[in-house]
Structures are given as C-alpha cells and as structure tokens.
Structure 1
Amino acid sequence: MNDDGTQHQTSTLQTPGGRPAPTEEQKRSAVQFVRIFWLLLAAMLLSTGLVLPWKLFPLVLGIAALVIGIIALVKVARRRAGALMPVLISLGLVVTFLTTLGLAGMVLLWDETATYEACMQSALTLSGVDECEADYLPFQQVR
C-alpha cells in the first residue's frame, strides 16, 4: 500500500504455461546464438575439403558449432520461438555431429589420410583417381 491507501500491482507478462515471457535481451541472446551456430556450421562445411594438417580447422569449428548449437537450441526452446526453429537447429546439429565425426575419424587415421591425399594430389587423370580410390578406399566400387 502507498501512503494514500491505494495498492499498485506490478504485472508481468506470462506465457500460457504460466512462465514469464522472455525479455527482449533474452530474445536477442537466443538469436545471436542461432546466428553464430549457422555461421560456424557453414564455415565448417566450406572448409572440410582442406588437406592435413588444415583438416584440424573444420574439426575445431565443428566442435564449437556443436556446443553453440546446443546452447542455441536450449535458448530457443525457452523462448518458445515456434516449432520450426528448434527443428531446423536440430537438423543442423545432426549435420554438424556427423561431419565432425567424419573429420575426427580422418584425423585419427592421420597417416592413411595423408597417404590418400598425396595420391589424389598426384593423380592427373581419371584413371589415376580411380587407382587411388581402389588402393585407399576399399569400400569404394571402382567403375
């Protein structure tokens, strides 16, 4: 109560679930994380064609994109930004995870990957490329 006997109520906007509505700062933060996630994902996908030792760069970008993407997904889910955005971020996280897993495998098999890349760089013809694939990628079927 105030001195004049009236009561003032402070009202906060609430979502239908009873939670307080997100503030503008929370919305901006969620959007920033989503933008950074998509930027990291794009940079990782564009740099996956690099050869060793530069293949470590997209691997680091992938790990960072996974962390930022999970944070973005949580922020967007809390913000209740609709059904499409969490689905898109989830699909991006799946692509990021699978690409990062493949890059980690290439880095773990460093010697084999380096040998295959050297062979592919020295292959001047399509038959040379086919020979490299037959020698170093046993799961590939040579046409």
Structure 2
Amino acid sequence: MPDLLLIVNPHSANGSTGRRWPAIESKLRSLLPPFDVAFTERVGHATAIAREAAGRYGCIALVGGDGTVNEVANGLIADDRPLRSDLTLGVICRGTGSDFIRTLGIPRDLEGAAERLAMGNVREIDIGKIRYRSPHGSEA
C-alpha cells in the first residue's frame, strides 16, 4: 500500500480539476512516489476522508484550494490536537484564491508543488481554533 494519499476536490479551480484529472494524475504519477487517490463528493467529505485515512498513511496531500486545505486539516485534528504528530499534510494547489500556499511559499504550479512534496521538505505550522459570538450573542 502506498504511504501517500491524494484527496482530490474535482470541483476546485471552477471544476477544471475534475475535467483535467486524467492529465493531472498522469503528471503527478511521473513526479511523486506511488499514491492512492480519493475524490471528494460533497462539502465536508475531505474532512471525513482525512480522518479515516490518518491511521493508514504517512502523508495526506490534497489537490484543491483553500477550502479543501481547511477541510483536510480539520480531518487531521481532534480535541484541538493533531491525530498523529508524524503525519504530514501536502498541498498541490488547484484553487482560485490560494492564500494558504502563498503564505507558506508552496509553488502554485503543478510540477513545482509535486517536486516539493516528493522532496519531503516538512515544516511545522501552528493550528488555531476561533470561536466568536454573533452580534446577537450566540456562538457562531
């Protein structure tokens, strides 16, 4: 079994990730070690996939945008702590905003992001949880 799982959001990049997946997958298979693929089917699905896969893979990478990053990260956290301290999260950008990768200096292009992931450069980043109240006083 591969040690890498790609969680793919086929709706990212305005749906072009799904439309172009055969070409994207072919390129990634030439650049990355062997990997399994799981496609998201609905909002919140990446969280469920990541949570279920966390015990079986050493690296979970996503192919999507900032929303997919958020969902996968939430799937790898429970009780405000990472599920596993040795599990890495990779990002191959296929989003439109791309704030997360810009902040971390992850290449936006497919080849650059895949090469960075294949090299195994790991950086620890902080996670946070925000709770706030609406103007009416309810927790939102």
- Class of the TM-score when normalised by the shorter of the 2 chains: under 0.3
Per the normalisation by structure 2, the TM-score is 0.24
Q: Which has the larger radius of gyration?
A: 1
Q: RCO greater where, 1 or 2, for CA within 8 Å and sep 6 or more?
A: 2
Answer 1 or 2: which has greater helix percent: 1
Per the normalisation by structure 1, the TM-score is 0.24
